[in-house]
């Protein structure tokens, strides 16, 4: 796992933005994505990808749909960086 300090996280990702993950059983803040263990990161990516893959989710809850997109893209970036290191 990478040792990333909160000071290394871009300011726009330090704002309180959270995703309520049913698979992890808790709310995850955007800045936490950098430090999630790989198994939890995988679950978060799977859960957010599922939300984003159903167009009806956009109509039902646009906020959750958009938030899932932020979390999914950031999780993919973190995952890719870990694979490269």
pLDDT in tens, 22-66: 999 999 999 999 999 999 999 999 999 999 999 898 999 998 999
Confidence of residue 17 (pLDDT cuts 50, 70, 90): confident
Q: Which stretches within 1-85 are classed as H helix?
A: 11-14, 38-53, 55-60, 62-84
| pTM: predicted TM-score of the whole model, two decimal places | 0.79
Confidence of residue 4 (pLDDT cuts 50, 70, 90): low
Quick one: pLDDT at residue 1? 46
Distance CA 79, CA 48 (A): 14
Quick one: pLDDT at residue 16? 72
């Amino acid at each position: 796992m990478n040792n990333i300090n909160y000071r290394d996280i871009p300011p726009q990702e330090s704002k309180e933005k959270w995703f309520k993950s049913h698979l992890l059983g808790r709310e995850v803040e955007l800045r936490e994505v950098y430090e999630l263990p790989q198994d939890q990161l995988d679950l978060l990516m799977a859960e957010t990808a599922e939300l984003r893959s159903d167009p009806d989710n956009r109509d039902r809850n646009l906020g959750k749909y958009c938030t899932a997109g932020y979390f999914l893209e950031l999780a993919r970036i973190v995952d890719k960086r870990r694979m490269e290191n």
